Amino acid sequence: MVKRTKSWRQLLPVLVGIGVLSVTLLLWRSLLLQEHAAIERKIELAAVHTTEVINQQLQTRVLALTRMAKRWQVRGGTPLAEWEADASNYLRDYPGLQAIEWVDSSFDVRWMAPIAGNEAAQNMNLATEEQLGTVLEAAVKQRNVTLTHTVNLVQGGKGFLVYVPLFLDNQKPKIPLMVS
């Protein structure tokens, strides 16, 4: 009987050690899971915030282009020098814009700012570009601001286009175009 008690006394610290180790491992695992969940929440919040900032900046740029188009519509046109000054100001004020273009009713790029670096798009007919022509036709048909998906730009690189169709006295549409 004494031997049995002695063996339990020797075994007790081992059992307590195993129990403490198990609890420690469970707590450690729980903390890891909580930390992982907290990191995921922070990433999700950062992604939502970034999306909101991008949407807000894009909306600001689209509204600027829309104002430019509305001014044209109200005045029945805008002289080239004034249009170029407006476009240059928008390009300066909104980093990330590559160009602002004016597309005629045949979908030919007529005016562009800046010309430097965008020569490949000058006088280009957007209707001949399968992806661009389809989106452009939809913008005209819906009479609504329309954005393309990411496209390969003729100027080089990738970007997207924003079309703002405008109509003057039942004429064919004219389309200010923002390239970003």
CATH, residue 95: 3.30.450.20
What does the alpha-carbon distance between residue 8 and residue 45 come to, in Å, rounded to a whole number? Answer: 54
In the three-class reduction of DSSP (H, G, I as helix; E, B as strand; rest coil), residue 19 is classed as helix
**pTM reported for the whole predicted model:** 0.70
Q: Is residue 69 part of a domain?
A: yes
* Domain, as residue range, for 103: 44-179
Tokens representing 136 are: 């452009």
Q: Is residue 175 part of a domain?
A: yes
Q: Is residue 6 part of a domain?
A: no
Q: Is residue 139 part of a domain?
A: yes
Q: Please give the pLDDT value at position 1.
A: 52
Q: Is residue 106 part of a domain?
A: yes
Q: Please give the pLDDT value at position 51.
A: 95
Instruction: Check if the beta carbon of residue 88 is closer than 8 Å to that of residue 111.
Output: no
| Interacting residues of 88 by C-beta distance below 8 A, sequence separation 6+ | 113, 114
Q: Please give the pLDDT value at position 172.
A: 61
Q: Please give the pLDDT value at position 119.
A: 86
Q: Please give the pLDDT value at position 171.
A: 62
- How wide is the angle at C-alpha 125 spanned by C-alphas 122 and 129, nearest 5°? 115
Q: Please give the pLDDT value at position 137.
A: 79
Q: Please give the pLDDT value at position 115.
A: 87
Residue type for position 123: N
Q: Please give the pLDDT value at position 169.
A: 66
| Interacting residues of 2 by C-beta distance below 8 A, sequence separation 6+ | none
Q: 52 vs 26, 48, 63, 80, 95, CA distance in Å?
A: 39, 6, 16, 35, 18
Q: Is residue 22 part of a domain?
A: no
Q: Is residue 27 part of a domain?
A: no
Q: Please give the pLDDT value at position 29.
A: 96
Instruction: Check if the beta carbon of residue 160 is closer than 8 Å to that of residue 131.
Output: no
Nearest to 61 by CA among 89, 35, 83: 89
Counting the structural domains of the chain, the total is: 1
Q: Is residue 33 part of a domain?
A: no
In the three-class reduction of DSSP (H, G, I as helix; E, B as strand; rest coil), residue 166 is classed as strand
Q: Please give the pLDDT value at position 2.
A: 53
Which residues in the chain land under pLDDT 70? 1-5, 168-180
Cα–chain center distance at 173: 27
Q: Please give the pLDDT value at position 36.
A: 97
